[in-house]
Structure 1
Amino acid sequence: MLESGIMMIVIILLINIVYVSFFTIRMILTLKGQRYLAAFLSMIEVVIYVVGLGLVLENLDQIQNLVAYAVGYGIGVIVGMKIEEKLALGYITVNVITKEYQTELPKRLRDRGYGVTTWEAHGLEGDRMSMQILTPRKYELSLYTTIKEIDPGAFIISYEPKSIYGGFWVKNVKKGKLKNG
């Protein structure tokens, strides 16, 4: 009896971890415009959800099953986020403002395949160089490392663009011509 109770807890826990991970990934795919993949994933997700919830509702008098369901949900959120980080779906726009107007940073970034647009900016403490760089999210950390190596005092801000059209980016970056590292 004890073994079947523990087995039920483990099954409910695992089912909910998988369900919530799928849920998280489906939501991200939906936000990224991957509607068909998101729809397919949602079919699998709902089956997992119904099975897991059914197990809990059939044994509602067993508080440990409800606790396992709640804990599995929380762990599933973390697992889903970790999976999304590894997938690194989408693109990121990085705006960089350097303390001095230097040409080395844009040149090194361009040598690695990034599209870099620069312009002169004027800050409270004088002239600066401002750059805008678009990159797949999988290269985001590598880009930050490169920027910080060359200009540790650079101001960096990033965001996800909603849509991208034309320019260097479409021609080269989308075709995978970036050099990682």
Structure 2
Amino acid sequence: MTYAIMGLIQVLYVALYSIRSVFMIKGMKYLAAFISTIEIFVYITGLAIVLKYMDSTLGIITYCGSYGIGILLGIYIEQKIALGYIALQVISEQAEMSHELRAKGYGVTTWTGQGAQGTRMVYIVLARRKQYVHLKALIQQIDPKAFMISYEPSNFVGGFWTKSISK
């Protein structure tokens, strides 16, 4: 029973640590500070238990395994809350993709590019990270051969999105 509690506390601690780190990176300092308060309480509580059972092989295995599980849980939670934005650079033969994407509410900037096999359209599409899977599927539906590169922009100045972000 004590090993199970030790494992659960470690999983909770590492998951909180992971989430707090994301909030810090995203600039959400007050939420990160609040979570760190809970995180350190869980850590100290767990540490007291862990130190009692570190001389046992099962205690060490539980501690190490639950740390890994905590990392996985933290990553899962971060992906579910999906804070921030994603930008996709799309290279496509489809000249009308921007109309369909704008009709769905996405901000799209386009220009013409020259690839190894001729002229292509280049699109920059900005979306909330929670919309990434849907946006990617929509683009692949419009052009299954589209080439996509995604990245997370850290700040915005001007343009279509700054108007809707501030709402």
Q: Could you tell me the TM-score, scaled by structure 1's length?
A: 0.89
Given the alignment of the two structures, is residue 151 of structure 1 paired with residue 117 of structure 2, yes or no? no
**Other-structure match for 1:44:** 38
**Alpha-carbon distance in 1 for matches of 2:166, 2:117:** 37
The answer to whether the aligner puts 1:64 opposite 2:58 as a matched pair is yes
Structure 1 alignment gaps of length 5 or more: 1-6, 176-181
Residue 92 (structure 1) aligned with residue 86 (structure 2): yes
Q: CA deviation at 1:173?
A: 5.5
Task: Report if the CA contact (8 A) 1:114-1:173 is conserved.
Answer: no
Task: Between 19-28 and 66-75, report the one with greater CA deviation.
Answer: 66-75
Pairing partner for 2:75 from 77, 81, 88: 81
Greater shift, 10-19 or 66-75, is seen at 66-75
> Are positions 1:34 and 2:28 aligned together?
yes
Q: Which of 83, 95, 100 is the aligned partner of 1:102?
A: 95
Identity of aligned residues (%): 45
Deviates more, 1:24-33 or 1:165-174: 165-174
Matches within 5 A, 1:1-40: 7-40=1-34
Q: For 2:110 and 2:126, locate their aligned partners in 1 and report how far apart those are by CA, in whole Å.
A: 12
> Could you tell me how far 1:101 is from its partner in structure 2?
4.8
Q: 2:112 aligns with which of 120, 136, 149?
A: 120
CA distance in 2, matches of 1:121, 1:101: 12
Structure 2 counterpart SS, 1:118: strand
SS state of the match for residue 73, structure 1?
Answer: helix
Cα distance in 1 for partners of 2:164, 2:55 equals 60
What's the CA shift for 1:61?
2.4
Matched, 1:55 2:67: no
How far the C-alpha of 1:174 sits from its partner, in A, is 5.6
Q: Counterpart amino acid of 2:13? A: Y
Q: Deviations over 1:118-158 (max 9, x none)?
A: 00001111100000011110000100000000100000000
- Report the RMSD for the aligned CA atoms in angstroms: 1.2
Q: Distance in 2 between matches of 1:113 and 1:88?
A: 19
Task: Indicate the larger mover: 160-169 or 76-85.
Answer: 160-169
User: Tell me, what secondary structure is at the counterpart of 2:153?
Assistant: coil
Alignment match, 2:162? 170
Structure 2 unaligned regions, length at least 5: none
Residue in 2 aligned with 1:136?
A: 128
